Amino acid sequence: MNMEEHVIIETEGLTKIYNGQIAVDHVSFKVMKGEVFGFLGPNGAGKTTILLMLLGLTEPTSGKVRVMDIDPTRDAIKVKGLIGYMPENMGFYNDLDAIQTLRFMADLNGIPGKIADERIERALKIVGLEGDAIKRVGAYSRGMRQRLGLAELLVKEPKVAFLDEPTLGLDPDATNRIIELIENFTREKEMTIILCSHFLEMVQRLCKRMGIMIKGRMVAQGTMDALAREKFGLDQNEYTLEEIYMKYFQET
Amino acid sequence: MHGLKVIFKKELADHFSSYRFIILFSLIGMVSLIISYMVGLTIKNELQGIAKPKFVFLMLFISQGGLFSFVQFVAFFGPLIGLILGFDLINRERNEGTLSRILSQPIYRDAVINGKFLAGVTTISIMMVSIILVITGLGLKMIGVIPGVEELCRIFLYLIISIIYISFWLGVAILFSILFRSVTTSALAVLAAWIFFSFFIPLGANIIAKAYVPDTGGENPEVLIRQASIQRAISLSSPIILYSDATATIIDPTRKTTRSFVLMGPFEKISQERFSGPLTIDQSLLIVLPYIITLIAITVVCFSISYTVFMRQEIRSA
Protein backbone atom coordinates (compact mmCIF):
# COMPACT_ATOMS: atom_id res chain seq x y z
CA MET A 1 0.00 0.00 0.00
CA ASN A 2 1.28 3.38 -0.96
CA MET A 3 1.40 5.48 2.18
CA GLU A 4 1.75 8.78 0.36
CA GLU A 5 -1.71 8.48 -1.13
CA HIS A 6 -3.26 8.50 2.27
CA VAL A 7 -1.67 11.62 3.62
CA ILE A 8 -4.47 14.14 3.89
CA ILE A 9 -2.73 16.95 5.75
CA GLU A 10 0.94 17.69 5.73
CA THR A 11 2.93 20.58 7.12
CA GLU A 12 6.64 21.16 7.12
CA GLY A 13 8.42 23.81 9.16
CA LEU A 14 5.18 25.73 9.45
CA THR A 15 5.81 29.09 11.14
CA LYS A 16 3.60 32.03 11.92
CA ILE A 17 4.73 35.30 13.44
CA TYR A 18 2.11 37.75 14.71
CA ASN A 19 3.47 41.25 15.37
CA GLY A 20 6.95 39.98 16.11
CA GLN A 21 5.72 37.18 18.36
CA ILE A 22 6.12 33.60 17.29
CA ALA A 23 2.71 31.93 17.44
CA VAL A 24 3.67 28.78 15.58
CA ASP A 25 7.29 27.66 15.45
CA HIS A 26 8.40 25.18 12.78
CA VAL A 27 5.61 22.67 13.17
CA SER A 28 5.69 19.57 11.00
CA PHE A 29 3.10 16.83 11.11
CA LYS A 30 1.03 14.54 8.94
CA VAL A 31 -2.53 13.37 9.23
CA MET A 32 -3.60 10.21 7.42
CA LYS A 33 -6.89 9.49 5.77
CA GLY A 34 -9.70 8.51 8.10
CA GLU A 35 -7.84 9.08 11.33
CA VAL A 36 -8.69 11.32 14.26
CA PHE A 37 -5.65 13.37 15.13
CA GLY A 38 -5.65 14.93 18.59
CA PHE A 39 -4.23 18.37 19.11
CA LEU A 40 -3.31 19.02 22.72
CA GLY A 41 -1.83 21.99 24.43
CA PRO A 42 -2.59 24.92 26.70
CA ASN A 43 -4.52 27.97 25.54
CA GLY A 44 -2.52 30.17 23.22
CA ALA A 45 -0.18 27.36 22.18
CA GLY A 46 -0.96 28.00 18.53
CA LYS A 47 -3.41 25.21 17.82
CA THR A 48 -6.09 27.45 16.37
CA THR A 49 -3.51 29.38 14.36
CA ILE A 50 -2.43 26.13 12.70
CA LEU A 51 -6.04 25.33 11.85
CA LEU A 52 -6.50 28.79 10.35
CA MET A 53 -3.38 28.31 8.24
CA LEU A 54 -4.61 24.92 7.06
CA LEU A 55 -7.86 26.61 6.05
CA GLY A 56 -6.09 29.37 4.18
CA LEU A 57 -7.64 32.03 6.41
CA THR A 58 -4.23 33.08 7.69
CA GLU A 59 -1.05 33.12 5.66
CA PRO A 60 1.92 31.27 7.12
CA THR A 61 5.08 33.32 7.60
CA SER A 62 7.11 30.41 6.30
CA GLY A 63 6.90 26.68 5.83
CA LYS A 64 4.88 24.30 3.74
CA VAL A 65 1.20 23.39 4.14
CA ARG A 66 -0.73 20.91 2.04
CA VAL A 67 -4.29 19.74 2.41
CA MET A 68 -4.99 16.88 0.03
CA ASP A 69 -2.06 18.11 -2.03
CA ILE A 70 -3.50 21.61 -2.35
CA ASP A 71 -1.73 24.67 -1.02
CA PRO A 72 -4.29 26.56 1.09
CA THR A 73 -2.48 29.88 0.66
CA ARG A 74 -2.74 29.57 -3.12
CA ASP A 75 -6.10 27.93 -3.56
CA ALA A 76 -8.04 28.75 -0.42
CA ILE A 77 -11.46 28.33 -2.03
CA LYS A 78 -10.78 24.74 -3.03
CA VAL A 79 -9.41 23.86 0.39
CA LYS A 80 -12.32 25.51 2.19
CA GLY A 81 -14.65 23.34 0.16
CA LEU A 82 -12.90 20.22 1.46
CA ILE A 83 -12.72 21.18 5.11
CA GLY A 84 -15.49 21.58 7.62
CA TYR A 85 -14.35 23.90 10.39
CA MET A 86 -16.08 24.05 13.72
CA PRO A 87 -14.41 26.87 15.65
CA GLU A 88 -14.27 27.26 19.38
CA ASN A 89 -17.17 29.51 20.42
CA MET A 90 -19.02 28.82 17.26
CA GLY A 91 -21.10 31.79 16.17
CA PHE A 92 -24.60 31.48 14.78
CA TYR A 93 -27.07 34.00 13.47
CA ASN A 94 -29.42 34.14 16.40
CA ASP A 95 -32.42 35.17 14.36
CA LEU A 96 -32.34 32.17 12.05
CA ASP A 97 -33.73 28.77 12.97
CA ALA A 98 -31.76 25.54 12.56
CA ILE A 99 -33.06 24.80 9.07
CA GLN A 100 -32.33 28.32 7.83
CA THR A 101 -28.86 28.20 9.35
CA LEU A 102 -28.04 24.93 7.64
CA ARG A 103 -29.57 26.02 4.36
CA PHE A 104 -27.47 29.19 4.39
CA MET A 105 -24.33 27.10 4.86
CA ALA A 106 -25.42 24.69 2.14
CA ASP A 107 -25.97 27.67 -0.20
CA LEU A 108 -22.52 29.02 0.58
CA ASN A 109 -21.12 25.63 -0.35
CA GLY A 110 -23.11 25.55 -3.54
CA ILE A 111 -25.04 22.43 -2.62
CA PRO A 112 -28.16 22.31 -4.81
CA GLY A 113 -31.49 22.83 -3.02
CA LYS A 114 -32.91 19.32 -3.25
CA ILE A 115 -29.80 17.54 -2.04
CA ALA A 116 -29.37 20.16 0.68
CA ASP A 117 -32.92 19.64 1.96
CA GLU A 118 -32.39 15.88 2.20
CA ARG A 119 -29.06 16.28 3.95
CA ILE A 120 -30.44 18.87 6.37
CA GLU A 121 -33.31 16.62 7.37
CA ARG A 122 -30.99 13.67 7.88
CA ALA A 123 -28.38 15.71 9.74
CA LEU A 124 -30.90 17.17 12.17
CA LYS A 125 -32.14 13.67 12.89
CA ILE A 126 -28.64 12.35 13.51
CA VAL A 127 -27.73 15.12 15.95
CA GLY A 128 -31.17 14.92 17.58
CA LEU A 129 -32.35 18.43 16.82
CA GLU A 130 -35.31 17.52 14.63
CA GLY A 131 -37.72 18.65 17.36
CA ASP A 132 -36.11 22.09 17.57
CA ALA A 133 -35.61 22.61 13.87
CA ILE A 134 -37.77 25.71 13.62
CA LYS A 135 -36.70 27.25 16.90
CA ARG A 136 -34.52 30.36 16.79
CA VAL A 137 -30.87 29.44 17.28
CA GLY A 138 -30.63 32.31 19.76
CA ALA A 139 -32.78 30.28 22.13
CA TYR A 140 -30.56 27.17 21.89
CA SER A 141 -28.51 25.87 24.80
CA ARG A 142 -24.77 25.51 24.44
CA GLY A 143 -25.01 21.79 23.80
CA MET A 144 -27.64 22.28 21.14
CA ARG A 145 -25.49 24.87 19.41
CA GLN A 146 -22.55 22.47 19.32
CA ARG A 147 -24.76 19.75 17.90
CA LEU A 148 -26.01 22.20 15.29
CA GLY A 149 -22.38 22.84 14.43
CA LEU A 150 -21.88 19.12 13.87
CA ALA A 151 -25.07 19.01 11.81
CA GLU A 152 -23.49 21.64 9.62
CA LEU A 153 -20.58 19.28 8.99
CA LEU A 154 -23.01 16.54 8.07
CA VAL A 155 -24.68 18.81 5.54
CA LYS A 156 -21.41 19.95 4.06
CA GLU A 157 -19.96 16.42 4.04
CA PRO A 158 -16.35 17.59 3.98
CA LYS A 159 -13.41 15.23 3.54
CA VAL A 160 -11.70 16.74 6.56
CA ALA A 161 -13.16 18.24 9.72
CA PHE A 162 -11.45 20.54 12.22
CA LEU A 163 -13.12 20.47 15.59
CA ASP A 164 -11.88 23.12 17.97
CA GLU A 165 -12.99 22.41 21.55
CA PRO A 166 -16.30 20.81 20.58
CA THR A 167 -17.19 19.91 24.15
CA LEU A 168 -16.08 23.04 25.98
CA GLY A 169 -18.54 23.99 28.67
CA LEU A 170 -20.91 21.11 28.09
CA ASP A 171 -22.47 18.88 30.71
CA PRO A 172 -21.39 15.20 30.76
CA ASP A 173 -24.48 14.00 28.95
CA ALA A 174 -24.08 16.52 26.12
CA THR A 175 -20.35 15.71 25.98
CA ASN A 176 -21.13 12.04 25.49
CA ARG A 177 -23.51 12.77 22.67
CA ILE A 178 -20.88 14.88 20.92
CA ILE A 179 -18.28 12.11 21.29
CA GLU A 180 -20.69 9.56 19.85
CA LEU A 181 -21.40 11.86 16.93
CA ILE A 182 -17.71 12.30 16.20
CA GLU A 183 -17.21 8.54 16.30
CA ASN A 184 -20.07 8.27 13.86
CA PHE A 185 -18.36 10.74 11.53
CA THR A 186 -15.20 8.69 11.21
CA ARG A 187 -16.99 5.38 10.99
CA GLU A 188 -19.72 6.20 8.49
CA LYS A 189 -18.49 9.24 6.59
CA GLU A 190 -14.79 8.29 6.60
CA MET A 191 -13.96 11.82 7.60
CA THR A 192 -10.46 12.75 8.63
CA ILE A 193 -10.61 14.76 11.82
CA ILE A 194 -8.30 17.08 13.69
CA LEU A 195 -9.58 17.44 17.21
CA CYS A 196 -8.36 20.19 19.51
CA SER A 197 -9.39 19.73 23.08
CA HIS A 198 -8.49 20.03 26.72
CA PHE A 199 -10.81 17.25 27.55
CA LEU A 200 -8.16 14.55 27.57
CA GLU A 201 -10.53 11.71 28.27
CA MET A 202 -12.23 12.39 24.98
CA VAL A 203 -8.96 12.70 23.10
CA GLN A 204 -7.79 9.42 24.60
CA ARG A 205 -10.99 7.73 23.52
CA LEU A 206 -11.19 9.13 19.99
CA CYS A 207 -7.65 9.67 18.80
CA LYS A 208 -5.08 7.12 17.79
CA ARG A 209 -2.36 9.65 17.25
CA MET A 210 -1.88 13.05 18.79
CA GLY A 211 0.44 16.01 18.90
CA ILE A 212 1.27 18.12 21.92
CA MET A 213 1.74 21.82 21.29
CA ILE A 214 3.42 24.06 23.83
CA LYS A 215 4.31 27.69 23.16
CA GLY A 216 4.00 27.37 19.41
CA ARG A 217 6.15 24.24 19.11
CA MET A 218 5.00 20.70 18.67
CA VAL A 219 6.95 19.03 21.46
CA ALA A 220 5.76 15.51 20.74
CA GLN A 221 3.60 13.54 18.39
CA GLY A 222 2.66 9.96 17.88
CA THR A 223 0.44 7.31 19.34
CA MET A 224 -0.27 7.32 23.04
CA ASP A 225 2.02 4.31 23.48
CA ALA A 226 4.84 6.13 21.81
CA LEU A 227 4.33 9.26 23.89
CA ALA A 228 4.23 7.26 27.08
CA ARG A 229 7.32 5.25 26.17
CA GLU A 230 9.23 8.39 25.39
CA LYS A 231 8.54 9.94 28.75
CA PHE A 232 8.24 7.02 31.08
CA GLY A 233 9.93 4.21 29.29
CA LEU A 234 7.11 2.02 30.50
CA ASP A 235 4.02 0.36 29.27
CA GLN A 236 1.32 2.89 28.44
CA ASN A 237 -1.40 1.03 30.27
CA GLU A 238 -0.27 2.37 33.58
CA TYR A 239 -0.62 5.97 32.57
CA THR A 240 -3.54 8.08 31.47
CA LEU A 241 -3.14 10.66 28.76
CA GLU A 242 -3.48 13.30 31.42
CA GLU A 243 -0.33 12.17 33.19
CA ILE A 244 1.61 12.03 29.96
CA TYR A 245 0.39 15.48 29.01
CA MET A 246 1.29 16.94 32.39
CA LYS A 247 4.75 15.46 32.17
CA TYR A 248 5.40 17.14 28.82
CA PHE A 249 3.89 20.33 30.06
CA GLN A 250 6.05 20.53 33.17
CA GLU A 251 9.23 19.79 31.30
CA THR A 252 8.81 22.52 28.75
CA MET B 1 -20.06 34.93 -7.93
CA HIS B 2 -22.34 32.45 -6.27
CA GLY B 3 -21.03 33.38 -2.83
CA LEU B 4 -21.89 36.99 -3.54
CA LYS B 5 -25.44 36.02 -4.46
CA VAL B 6 -25.93 33.97 -1.30
CA ILE B 7 -24.57 36.70 0.98
CA PHE B 8 -26.58 39.35 -0.86
CA LYS B 9 -29.81 37.40 -0.43
CA LYS B 10 -29.15 36.76 3.23
CA GLU B 11 -28.27 40.39 3.96
CA LEU B 12 -31.27 41.70 2.09
CA ALA B 13 -33.57 39.40 4.04
CA ASP B 14 -31.85 40.53 7.25
CA HIS B 15 -32.42 44.18 6.44
CA PHE B 16 -36.06 43.76 5.62
CA SER B 17 -36.86 41.70 8.65
CA SER B 18 -34.99 43.90 11.12
CA TYR B 19 -36.82 46.23 13.49
CA ARG B 20 -34.20 48.78 12.66
CA PHE B 21 -35.34 48.93 9.05
CA ILE B 22 -39.02 49.02 9.95
CA ILE B 23 -38.53 51.88 12.42
CA LEU B 24 -36.30 53.83 10.05
CA PHE B 25 -38.59 53.32 7.11
CA SER B 26 -41.78 54.25 8.91
CA LEU B 27 -40.13 57.30 10.46
CA ILE B 28 -38.80 58.61 7.18
CA GLY B 29 -41.95 57.67 5.30
CA MET B 30 -44.04 59.50 7.86
CA VAL B 31 -41.97 62.68 7.80
CA SER B 32 -41.89 62.78 4.01
CA LEU B 33 -45.63 62.25 3.86
CA ILE B 34 -46.25 65.09 6.30
CA ILE B 35 -43.90 67.40 4.44
CA SER B 36 -45.40 66.67 1.05
CA TYR B 37 -48.94 66.89 2.39
CA MET B 38 -48.31 70.34 3.80
CA VAL B 39 -46.53 71.46 0.66
CA GLY B 40 -49.38 70.06 -1.41
CA LEU B 41 -51.92 72.03 0.59
CA THR B 42 -49.97 75.26 0.15
CA ILE B 43 -49.49 74.75 -3.56
CA LYS B 44 -53.13 73.88 -4.04
CA ASN B 45 -54.26 77.06 -2.26
CA GLU B 46 -51.88 79.28 -4.09
CA LEU B 47 -52.67 77.85 -7.48
CA GLN B 48 -56.37 78.49 -7.13
CA GLY B 49 -57.65 80.78 -9.86
CA ILE B 50 -54.32 81.38 -11.58
CA ALA B 51 -52.79 79.78 -14.64
CA LYS B 52 -50.56 76.92 -13.64
CA PRO B 53 -46.88 77.79 -13.87
CA LYS B 54 -44.35 75.38 -15.33
CA PHE B 55 -42.87 72.63 -13.18
CA VAL B 56 -45.54 72.76 -10.48
CA PHE B 57 -44.87 69.18 -9.72
CA LEU B 58 -41.26 69.70 -8.78
CA MET B 59 -42.36 72.26 -6.22
CA LEU B 60 -43.58 69.36 -4.14
CA PHE B 61 -39.95 68.49 -3.51
CA ILE B 62 -38.40 71.91 -3.05
CA SER B 63 -41.05 73.96 -1.26
CA GLN B 64 -40.80 74.09 2.48
CA GLY B 65 -43.55 72.38 4.35
CA GLY B 66 -43.31 72.94 8.06
CA LEU B 67 -39.62 73.08 8.87
CA PHE B 68 -37.94 71.97 5.67
CA SER B 69 -38.50 70.74 2.15
CA PHE B 70 -38.24 67.11 1.16
CA VAL B 71 -34.92 67.72 -0.57
CA GLN B 72 -33.47 69.32 2.57
CA PHE B 73 -34.89 66.53 4.68
CA VAL B 74 -33.11 63.85 2.65
CA ALA B 75 -29.89 65.87 2.68
CA PHE B 76 -29.89 66.00 6.46
CA PHE B 77 -31.45 62.71 7.48
CA GLY B 78 -30.62 60.58 4.46
CA PRO B 79 -27.14 59.95 5.90
CA LEU B 80 -28.76 58.41 8.95
CA ILE B 81 -30.37 55.74 6.77
CA GLY B 82 -27.01 54.69 5.40
CA LEU B 83 -25.25 54.95 8.73
CA ILE B 84 -27.85 53.03 10.70
CA LEU B 85 -28.02 50.27 8.11
CA GLY B 86 -24.26 49.83 8.02
CA PHE B 87 -22.56 50.67 11.29
CA ASP B 88 -22.43 47.09 12.62
CA LEU B 89 -22.37 45.01 9.44
CA ILE B 90 -18.87 43.61 9.91
CA ASN B 91 -18.01 44.00 13.58
CA ARG B 92 -21.22 42.39 14.80
CA GLU B 93 -20.39 39.29 12.80
CA ARG B 94 -16.85 39.38 14.06
CA ASN B 95 -18.01 39.63 17.67
CA GLU B 96 -20.57 36.88 17.33
CA GLY B 97 -18.08 34.58 15.64
CA THR B 98 -20.10 34.21 12.46
CA LEU B 99 -17.53 35.98 10.30
CA SER B 100 -14.86 33.30 10.64
CA ARG B 101 -17.52 30.71 9.98
CA ILE B 102 -18.67 32.28 6.73
CA LEU B 103 -15.09 32.85 5.65
CA SER B 104 -14.21 29.22 6.22
CA GLN B 105 -16.77 28.28 3.58
CA PRO B 106 -15.65 28.10 -0.06
CA ILE B 107 -16.40 31.70 -1.03
CA TYR B 108 -14.11 34.60 -1.84
CA ARG B 109 -13.58 36.97 0.99
CA ASP B 110 -14.72 39.97 -1.04
CA ALA B 111 -18.07 38.29 -1.63
CA VAL B 112 -18.88 39.09 2.01
CA ILE B 113 -18.18 42.81 1.85
CA ASN B 114 -19.51 43.26 -1.68
CA GLY B 115 -22.67 41.36 -0.84
CA LYS B 116 -23.24 43.44 2.25
CA PHE B 117 -22.67 46.71 0.43
CA LEU B 118 -24.90 45.74 -2.50
CA ALA B 119 -27.67 44.56 -0.19
CA GLY B 120 -27.45 47.89 1.66
CA VAL B 121 -27.60 49.85 -1.59
CA THR B 122 -30.59 47.79 -2.72
CA THR B 123 -32.36 48.43 0.58
CA ILE B 124 -31.67 52.15 0.28
CA SER B 125 -32.91 52.19 -3.31
CA ILE B 126 -36.13 50.42 -2.44
CA MET B 127 -36.69 52.85 0.43
CA MET B 128 -36.08 55.94 -1.68
CA VAL B 129 -38.09 54.72 -4.65
CA SER B 130 -41.08 53.87 -2.53
CA ILE B 131 -40.97 57.17 -0.63
CA ILE B 132 -40.73 59.18 -3.83
CA LEU B 133 -43.53 57.17 -5.39
CA VAL B 134 -45.73 57.84 -2.38
CA ILE B 135 -45.00 61.56 -2.54
CA THR B 136 -45.64 61.61 -6.26
CA GLY B 137 -48.92 59.82 -5.80
CA LEU B 138 -50.01 62.11 -3.01
CA GLY B 139 -49.00 65.13 -5.08
CA LEU B 140 -50.95 63.89 -8.09
CA LYS B 141 -54.04 63.57 -5.99
CA MET B 142 -53.66 66.85 -4.13
CA ILE B 143 -52.61 69.32 -6.78
CA GLY B 144 -54.12 67.50 -9.70
CA VAL B 145 -51.25 68.20 -12.05
CA ILE B 146 -49.72 65.46 -14.11
CA PRO B 147 -45.93 65.71 -14.21
CA GLY B 148 -44.37 66.15 -17.63
CA VAL B 149 -41.62 64.03 -19.10
CA GLU B 150 -38.94 66.48 -18.08
CA GLU B 151 -40.20 66.62 -14.53
CA LEU B 152 -40.13 62.84 -14.34
CA CYS B 153 -36.59 62.84 -15.69
CA ARG B 154 -35.54 65.33 -13.07
CA ILE B 155 -37.17 63.31 -10.30
CA PHE B 156 -35.42 60.23 -11.62
CA LEU B 157 -32.05 61.99 -11.65
CA TYR B 158 -32.74 63.25 -8.16
CA LEU B 159 -33.47 59.69 -7.08
CA ILE B 160 -30.20 58.40 -8.54
CA ILE B 161 -28.13 61.12 -6.87
CA SER B 162 -29.90 60.50 -3.57
CA ILE B 163 -29.15 56.79 -3.75
CA ILE B 164 -25.48 57.47 -4.45
CA TYR B 165 -25.40 59.96 -1.59
CA ILE B 166 -26.93 57.60 0.94
CA SER B 167 -24.73 54.78 -0.33
CA PHE B 168 -21.74 56.97 0.42
CA TRP B 169 -22.84 57.10 4.04
CA LEU B 170 -23.41 53.37 3.99
CA GLY B 171 -19.81 53.04 2.81
CA VAL B 172 -18.62 55.23 5.68
CA ALA B 173 -20.59 53.11 8.13
CA ILE B 174 -19.16 49.87 6.74
CA LEU B 175 -15.65 51.32 6.95
CA PHE B 176 -16.20 52.16 10.61
CA SER B 177 -17.62 48.73 11.28
CA ILE B 178 -14.40 47.26 9.89
CA LEU B 179 -12.07 49.62 11.71
CA PHE B 180 -13.71 49.39 15.13
CA ARG B 181 -14.09 46.06 16.85
CA SER B 182 -16.85 47.25 19.15
CA VAL B 183 -20.33 47.91 17.81
CA THR B 184 -20.89 50.75 20.28
CA THR B 185 -17.73 52.52 19.22
CA SER B 186 -18.59 52.32 15.55
CA ALA B 187 -22.12 53.56 16.25
CA LEU B 188 -20.72 56.58 18.09
CA ALA B 189 -18.06 57.21 15.46
CA VAL B 190 -20.68 57.11 12.75
CA LEU B 191 -22.88 59.62 14.59
CA ALA B 192 -19.88 61.85 15.19
CA ALA B 193 -19.08 61.82 11.47
CA TRP B 194 -22.64 62.76 10.66
CA ILE B 195 -22.73 65.62 13.14
CA PHE B 196 -19.33 66.82 12.02
CA PHE B 197 -20.25 67.02 8.36
CA SER B 198 -23.76 68.31 8.75
CA PHE B 199 -23.30 70.88 11.51
CA PHE B 200 -19.65 71.64 12.13
CA ILE B 201 -18.45 72.11 8.58
CA PRO B 202 -21.02 74.75 7.61
CA LEU B 203 -20.45 76.44 10.96
CA GLY B 204 -16.70 76.04 10.89
CA ALA B 205 -16.48 77.28 7.30
CA ASN B 206 -18.04 80.54 8.38
CA ILE B 207 -15.75 80.93 11.38
CA ILE B 208 -12.58 80.04 9.48
CA ALA B 209 -13.47 82.42 6.66
CA LYS B 210 -13.99 85.23 9.15
CA ALA B 211 -10.76 84.42 10.96
CA TYR B 212 -8.77 84.26 7.75
CA VAL B 213 -10.19 87.44 6.27
CA PRO B 214 -11.24 89.59 9.24
CA ASP B 215 -14.08 92.10 8.89
CA THR B 216 -12.69 95.55 8.25
CA GLY B 217 -15.77 97.38 9.40
CA GLY B 218 -18.15 98.82 6.90
CA GLU B 219 -19.03 96.79 3.87
CA ASN B 220 -15.91 96.21 1.92
CA PRO B 221 -16.98 94.14 -1.10
CA GLU B 222 -13.56 92.61 -1.54
CA VAL B 223 -13.57 91.27 2.00
CA LEU B 224 -17.07 89.89 1.53
CA ILE B 225 -16.11 88.15 -1.69
CA ARG B 226 -12.99 86.63 -0.19
CA GLN B 227 -14.90 85.47 2.86
CA ALA B 228 -17.62 83.95 0.73
CA SER B 229 -15.18 82.09 -1.49
CA ILE B 230 -13.26 80.64 1.45
CA GLN B 231 -16.48 79.61 3.12
CA ARG B 232 -17.64 77.97 -0.08
CA ALA B 233 -14.40 76.08 -0.57
CA ILE B 234 -14.51 74.67 2.93
CA SER B 235 -18.17 73.74 2.90
CA LEU B 236 -17.71 71.86 -0.35
CA SER B 237 -15.65 69.33 1.57
CA SER B 238 -18.89 68.17 3.15
CA PRO B 239 -20.84 65.62 1.12
CA ILE B 240 -24.02 67.13 2.50
CA ILE B 241 -23.30 70.45 0.80
CA LEU B 242 -22.29 68.66 -2.39
CA TYR B 243 -25.52 66.76 -2.36
CA SER B 244 -27.80 69.67 -1.47
CA ASP B 245 -26.34 71.88 -4.16
CA ALA B 246 -26.49 69.14 -6.77
CA THR B 247 -30.05 68.11 -6.07
CA ALA B 248 -31.35 71.67 -5.63
CA THR B 249 -30.17 72.45 -9.14
CA ILE B 250 -31.49 69.23 -10.60
CA ILE B 251 -34.92 69.51 -9.09
CA ASP B 252 -35.31 73.27 -9.59
CA PRO B 253 -34.98 74.22 -13.28
CA THR B 254 -34.87 77.95 -12.55
CA ARG B 255 -31.67 77.60 -10.59
CA LYS B 256 -28.77 78.33 -12.89
CA THR B 257 -25.74 78.27 -10.67
CA THR B 258 -24.66 76.75 -7.42
CA ARG B 259 -22.74 79.86 -6.49
CA SER B 260 -24.05 82.46 -4.08
CA PHE B 261 -24.91 85.88 -5.46
CA VAL B 262 -21.82 87.47 -3.96
CA LEU B 263 -19.51 85.22 -5.93
CA MET B 264 -21.18 85.55 -9.32
CA GLY B 265 -19.27 87.16 -12.14
CA PRO B 266 -20.78 90.06 -14.08
CA PHE B 267 -22.03 87.86 -16.94
CA GLU B 268 -23.58 85.40 -14.60
CA LYS B 269 -25.42 88.23 -12.89
CA ILE B 270 -26.69 89.64 -16.14
CA SER B 271 -27.91 86.30 -17.39
CA GLN B 272 -29.55 85.59 -14.07
CA GLU B 273 -31.38 88.92 -14.14
CA ARG B 274 -32.36 89.07 -17.80
CA PHE B 275 -33.19 85.50 -18.68
CA SER B 276 -35.55 84.03 -16.19
CA GLY B 277 -36.64 81.06 -18.27
CA PRO B 278 -35.95 77.59 -16.85
CA LEU B 279 -32.92 75.58 -17.85
CA THR B 280 -33.23 72.41 -19.85
CA ILE B 281 -32.41 69.25 -18.00
CA ASP B 282 -29.07 68.70 -19.71
CA GLN B 283 -28.00 72.23 -18.82
CA SER B 284 -28.95 71.70 -15.17
CA LEU B 285 -27.04 68.44 -15.22
CA LEU B 286 -24.03 70.17 -16.74
CA ILE B 287 -23.89 72.66 -13.87
CA VAL B 288 -23.83 70.04 -11.15
CA LEU B 289 -21.93 67.31 -12.99
CA PRO B 290 -18.73 67.97 -11.00
CA TYR B 291 -20.72 67.57 -7.80
CA ILE B 292 -22.24 64.31 -8.90
CA ILE B 293 -18.89 62.97 -10.04
CA THR B 294 -17.34 63.98 -6.73
CA LEU B 295 -20.12 62.20 -4.86
CA ILE B 296 -19.55 59.03 -6.89
CA ALA B 297 -15.80 59.37 -6.42
CA ILE B 298 -15.92 59.68 -2.63
CA THR B 299 -18.33 56.76 -2.46
CA VAL B 300 -15.93 54.65 -4.50
CA VAL B 301 -12.92 55.79 -2.47
CA CYS B 302 -14.69 55.06 0.79
CA PHE B 303 -15.73 51.61 -0.34
CA SER B 304 -12.31 50.75 -1.70
CA ILE B 305 -10.69 51.69 1.60
CA SER B 306 -13.15 49.39 3.39
CA TYR B 307 -12.48 46.70 0.83
CA THR B 308 -8.71 46.88 1.17
CA VAL B 309 -8.74 47.00 4.96
CA PHE B 310 -11.16 44.10 5.11
CA MET B 311 -9.18 41.97 2.68
CA ARG B 312 -5.98 42.52 4.64
CA GLN B 313 -7.37 41.98 8.10
CA GLU B 314 -6.21 38.80 9.78
CA ILE B 315 -8.91 36.41 10.81
CA ARG B 316 -8.23 35.32 14.34
CA SER B 317 -10.33 33.15 16.49
CA ALA B 318 -10.88 35.45 19.44
Question: CA nearest A129: which of A188, A178, A95?
Answer: A178
The partner residue sitting opposite B2, judged by closest CB among A57, A91, A110, is A110
- Is A53:A14 a contact under the CB 8 Å cutoff? yes
Tell me the count of A-B CB pairs closer than 8 A. Answer: 67
Burial of B29 per CB tally in 10 Å (0-12, 13-18, 19+): middle
For residue range A150-183, list pLDDT tens digits in order: 999 989 989 899 999 888 888 888 888 889 888 8
With residues binned 3-state (H G I as helix, E B as strand, rest as coil), the percentages for chain B, rounded to 5, are 80, 0, 20
Q: B14 and A52: CB-CB below 8 Å?
A: no
Q: B314 and A80: CB-CB below 8 Å?
A: no
Rounded (10°) CA dihedral B33, B34, B37, B40: -100
Query: Which residue type is seen at B3?
Result: G
- Is B74:B108 a contact under the CB 8 Å cutoff? no
d(CA B64, CA B66): 6
Per-residue pLDDT tens listing for chain B (318 residues): 788 999 999 999 999 999 999 999 999 999 888 888 888 888 888 888 777 777 788 888 888 877 788 888 899 889 999 999 999 999 999 988 899 889 999 999 899 999 999 999 999 999 999 999 988 888 888 888 888 888 899 999 999 999 999 999 999 999 999 999 999 999 999 999 999 988 888 888 888 888 888 877 777 778 888 888 888 888 888 899 899 888 888 888 877 777 666 667 777 777 766 766 778 888 888 888 999 999 999 999 999 999 999 988 877 644
Burial of B259 per CB tally in 10 Å (0-12, 13-18, 19+): middle
Residue of A57, A108, A145, A150 to mutate for B, most B C-beta atoms under 10 A: A108
Instruction: Enumerate the β-bridge partners of residue A195.
Output: A38, A163
CB count within 10 Å of CB B143 equals: 20
Taking a contact as any Cβ pair under 8 Å apart, which residues of chain B between 90 and 109 contact chain A? 93, 96-108
Q: Answer whether B26 touches A (CB < 8 Å).
A: no
Name the residue of chain B whose CA is nearest to A57's CA: B315
Q: pTM for the whole thing? A: 0.89
**Half-sphere exposure of B201 toward its Cβ, with a 13 Å CA cutoff?**
18
Domain boundaries, chain B: 2-312
Q: Answer whether A94 touches B (CB < 8 Å).
A: yes
If DSSP codes are grouped into helix, strand and coil, which group holds residue A161?
A: strand
Q: Give chain A's domains with CATH numbers.
A: 3-251 (3.40.50.300)
What is the least distance, in Å, from the CA of B25 to any CA of chain A? 20
- Is B82:B109 a contact under the CB 8 Å cutoff? no
For residue range B123-178, list pLDDT tens digits in order: 999 999 999 998 888 888 888 888 888 889 999 999 999 999 999 999 999 999 99
